[in-house]
Structure 1
Amino acid sequence: MTDDATYTELLGGRVTFTQTGESVVRMTGQFEDGFGDPNADYLLHVGDHAPVTIHVSEPPSSKPFEHDFKDATIDDFTGVFLRVVGDNEVIGNSDPTMPTT
């Protein structure tokens, strides 16, 4: 089993998934580019999981974020695609996440 899955090529940022418990995976990250309107609704879509809200600090950056996915293992986040949507428009797509050890 992989310990982490990380993506570093999306909107100038980094998103890391870490197995923190038997069935909990924590996602942490921050984006440095692409967020123009601090009042827009931004969502991070992770594979087939429910989207996670992303907040903006000072455009063009997002605030750091953290989210726990329950009933999941790190294998559920290895090789998935990430997509960031702002006010129903896609502002970024990733290649699949890459495993790290």
Structure 2
Amino acid sequence: MGKMRGNVLLGCMLIIALIASASCTTAPSSSTIVCNVEMTDLLECLPAITGAHPPAPTRRCCKVMRRVNLPCLCRYKPQLAKFGANPVAAMAVPKKCGIKRTPRC
């Protein structure tokens, strides 16, 4: 069950990393929706997945994670490492946010 959470989180964190890179090329007035959540909202979780010792996810991050379509994010899992995310930290976010039911990616 922990592995399932980790797999879903990897997908979620990939989206966050994509948001960070795409935010430089996206016009400020446009709003991109990824798996039912605005990309800018996903940025709330970026600190929790980057660096060697990232901090725990914030309440705002966890609030976003509860709204996101987790199965949708699974398709982004293979690209996560390309964006410098810490996979161990990424796999820990759903559990730290108290998300109990997650799909297998």
User: Could you state the TM-score of these two structures normalised by the residue count of structure 1?
Assistant: 0.28
More strand by share: 1
Q: Which has the larger radius of gyration?
A: 1
Q: Which has the higher contact order (CA 8 A, sep 6+)?
A: 2
TM-score w.r.t. the length of structure 2 is 0.28
